[in-house]
Structure 1
């Protein structure tokens, strides 16, 4: 793979927090944001504002909650976590249009973009799965 092919593929498969905020402002109904993080509930209590919380461990049983007609944006913890990449691959295999939010919630919070406290997912095992 040539460098140009790599960067084209990377840009097609990811979206930065800044680009997502801009795109969402221009076309708010186009996107469906999913927090796919696993792990202890107490560390998952903060989510990106308006994100749908569907942990990777519940994805298969909750697939019906994800709209086929929107662009799906998935995120996990940080650049070191590959849970969002696993979810993106799974959703792509099931016919969804998907991008991974680069940097996960860590990058989002670093840019001081809006977050909310969430008490969803209280029954998720404490196993991260990254």
Structure 2
């Protein structure tokens, strides 16, 4: 793979927080955002605003919650976490249209974009799968 092919593939497979915010503002119904992070509740209590929380290990049992008619955006912790990439690969193999949010929640928070506190939601599992 040459450099051009690499960067084209990278741009096809990812979306930056800024590009996601801009695109979502223009077309709010285009995306289905999923927080796929694993870990105990106390370390993942903050999520991107309006994100659907479906942890990586829960994915096979919750596919019915993920719409096939939207572009799926997955995110995890930061640039060193590969959980979102693993989930994206799994969803792509099942014919979903998927991109990874570059930088994960760390980049999102660094840009001071909107977040939610999920500790107020009763149905979040503390089974982190770690």
Mapped to 2, the partners of 1:29 and 1:10 lie a distance apart of 24
Q: How much does 1:124 deviate?
A: 1.9
Output the TM-score relative to the length of structure 1: 0.95
Residue in 2 that maps onto 1:7 = 7
Question: Residues 1-55 of structure 1, C-alpha deviation per residue, up to 9 Å, x if partnerless?
Answer: 0000000000000000000000000010010000000011101100000000000
Report the counterpart of residue 18 of structure 1 in structure 2: 18
Structure 1: gaps spanning 5 or more residues:
none
Aligned partners of 2:14 and 2:101 also within 8 Å = yes
Tell me the residue number matched to 2:128. 125
What is the total number of aligned residue pairs between the two structures? 127
Q: Secondary structure at the match of 1:59?
A: helix
Q: Distance in 1 between matches of 2:128 and 2:51?
A: 20
The Cα shift of 1:126 comes to 5.5
Equivalent in the alignment of 2:86: 86
Match of 1:35 in 2: 35
For 1:52-71, list aligned pairs within 5 A: 52-71=52-71
